[in-house]
């Protein structure tokens, strides 16, 4: 009996101590700053980017579109289902492509179907933005799109050197979210677009689990800043920024995500 109790206590302690790495909805393309327009690939994956860990099954997105020069173009019909391989499993995801034309910003927006996280008995909906620029001509990168949950950039998400600071404002229902909780993760394993999989090799090694998913908070005006120590893609997720907190009778975390790309100065 004492042995069983000891084993149960040990299991409980391990469970409590186990790190809960962050879910991140991705809209991925290799390059966010292009000299001229061309057709670009787009991969929509719900995963754990630093560890290239468990990839969740995505449902059919509610919306997928691009905003360019204040005009919205629906892209939902361009989505094709794929299977994305992480280092631990495979999950349902989507892919598309888009022909960039002219100069300016292209703000890709994904409103995914709420995902049921059984371990927490809640739904998660991460409304995600990613910006691709052509020709260096800025247009829409800082536009507030009126999403239920949104991070509005204060720095161009595609024009960041290593060591720069990225700033943003967390918005919910068109209003800043004071002291919003924000998770930050680095895309640590290169996505192989031909294989629909993460490469096994990692770009960085976390010295401790708190460096995998980094936590920061916005100020009273919903503003935040984060220094970017390494080139590549970085994701920012503002937890529960949206006003909707229920889905199918269960708790909903309506989050806002934005991805930014960082480059080394050579």
Domain parsing of the chain, residue ranges: 20-263
Could you read off the pLDDT of 38-96 as tens digits, one per residue? 999 999 999 999 999 999 999 999 999 999 999 999 999 999 999 999 999 999 999 99
How crowded is residue 7: how many other Cβ atoms within 10 Å of its Cβ?
10
pLDDT of 8 strictly over 60: no
pLDDT band with cut points at 50, 70 and 90 for residue 16: very low
* CATH code for the part of the protein at 20-263: 2.60.40.10
pLDDT of 11 strictly over 50: no
Report the distance separating Cα 241 and Cα 258, nearest Å. Answer: 13
- What pLDDT was estimated at residue 21? 62
- What pLDDT was estimated at residue 249? 96
Could you read off the pLDDT of 139-185 as tens digits, one per residue? 999 999 999 999 999 999 999 999 999 999 999 999 999 999 999 99
- What pLDDT was estimated at residue 22? 83
Could you read off the pLDDT of 173-216 as tens digits, one per residue? 999 999 999 999 999 999 999 999 999 999 999 999 999 999 99
Look up the pTM and report it: 0.92
Mean pLDDT of 35-40: 96
């Amino acid at each position: 009996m004492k042995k069983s109790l000891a084993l149960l206590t040990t299991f409980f302690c391990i469970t409590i101590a186990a790190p809960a790495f962050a879910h991140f909805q991705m809209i991925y393309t290799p390059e966010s700053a292009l000299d001229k327009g061309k057709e670009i690939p787009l991969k929509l994956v719900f995963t754990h980017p630093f560890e290239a860990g468990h990839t969740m099954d995505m449902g059919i997105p509610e919306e997928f579109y691009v905003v360019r020069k204040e005009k919205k173009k629906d892209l939902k019909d361009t989505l094709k289902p794929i299977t994305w391989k992480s280092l631990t499993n495979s999950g349902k995801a989507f892919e598309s492509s888009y022909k960039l034309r002219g100069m300016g910003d292209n703000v890709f927006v994904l409103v995914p179907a709420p995902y049921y996280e059984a371990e927490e008995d809640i739904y998660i909906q991460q409304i995600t933005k990613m910006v691709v620029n052509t020709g260096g001509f800025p247009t829409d990168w800082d536009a507030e799109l009126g999403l239920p949950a949104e991070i509005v950039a204060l720095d161009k998400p595609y024009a960041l050197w290593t060591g720069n600071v990225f700033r943003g404002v967390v918005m919910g229902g068109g209003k800043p979210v004071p002291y919003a909780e924000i998770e930050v993760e680095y895309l640590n394993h290169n996505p192989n677009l031909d294989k629909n999989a993460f490469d096994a090799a990692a770009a960085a090694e976390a010295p401790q689990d708190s460096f995998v998913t980094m936590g920061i908070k916005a100020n009273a005006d919903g503003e935040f800043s984060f220094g970017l120590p390494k080139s590549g893609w970085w994701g920012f997720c503002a937890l529960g920024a949206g006003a909707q907190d229920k889905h199918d009778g269960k708790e909903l975390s309506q989050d806002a995500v934005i991805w930014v790309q960082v480059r080394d100065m050579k």
